[in-house]
Amino acid sequence: MITARHLKVFYEVCKHMNMTKASRELYISQPAVSKTIHDIEEEYKIKLFERWNKALYLTPDGAMLFEYAEQVVNMLDVIDKQLQSRKFKDLVRVGASITVGTSILGDIVAGYCAQNDAVRIEAVVDNTAVIEEYLLQGKLDLAIMEGRITSLDIKSNPIGSSDIVLVVNCLHELYARENVVVEDLEGLDFIVREKGSRTRESFAMAMEQHNVKWNAAWSCHNTQAIKNAVDAGLGVGVLSRLSVRKRLASGRFRALDVFEKPLKQHMRIAFCQGRYMSQSTRDFMDYTIKQIEIILNEKNS
């Protein structure tokens, strides 16, 4: 019968497609790795790998087993982390793309942990592509994302949307001007996300449709950097309303509503299909959905 050890060895070989590298990762000899693979093949009368030009390739049976091995190894990793974590708290690994991670994730995690002291949250904040890859690798249990999700192995559910807003502070020439229109933005300096960002793409498309030229004076991977630059009066910031809602409410920033149809940033909660999800992860997901709904309703109230 196949064991967790068999699956771990097989999984590491698949990761590296090299038995020597797998043996180093596992701190066992290369012959021991080869024997483990041979034992699985003998037990089930299958072939897991083909060799071609000194390289390993998965057979169809090997590819099928890898899908199961990946899930088992990831689950064992979760169990190990939970048992070794302080006070044996349940562990929930959460990912968030930049806007969510820098604007509302902290409040959501703090609120949840205040009500659930037996749960520990680990968070990763990065761009959508990185968070998607971490989900696929089993490094995250779920994620809250705004960008496009490309993998068919990831299931995502819509949880709301926030406007993309153009903001200035009191040092900017447009802050006190009444009835700002899109033509007033011609040639101005803008502080935007990096190329490839969904927020930037939506804004750039809207400006192109109105035939308005603009200058990307700052290109930032971090929304906090954008807010700091706007605070310094260095240009017009392009951000999710979520990330500047407190500054807008206090009057520190002003939103320039120049587009007839608001630019939208859609949020989704995502997780890998078919992968085990603990009850704590499910509870945190439900809590997150409710909290985001409350935050979005605050904006409209």
* Residue-wise pLDDT tens digits, 80-111: 877 776 555 788 999 999 888 988 999 999 99
* pLDDT given for residue 53 in this prediction: 85
* pLDDT given for residue 290 in this prediction: 94
Tell me how crowded residue 154 is: count the other CB atoms within 10 A of its CB.
Answer: 19
* pLDDT given for residue 85 in this prediction: 64
User: For the chain, which residues score pLDDT lower than 50?
Assistant: 301
Nearest alpha-carbon partner for 142 in 1, 278, 6: 278
pTM to 2 decimals?
A: 0.66
> For the segment 16-39, what is each residue's pLDDT rounded down to a tens digit?
999 999 999 999 999 999 999 999
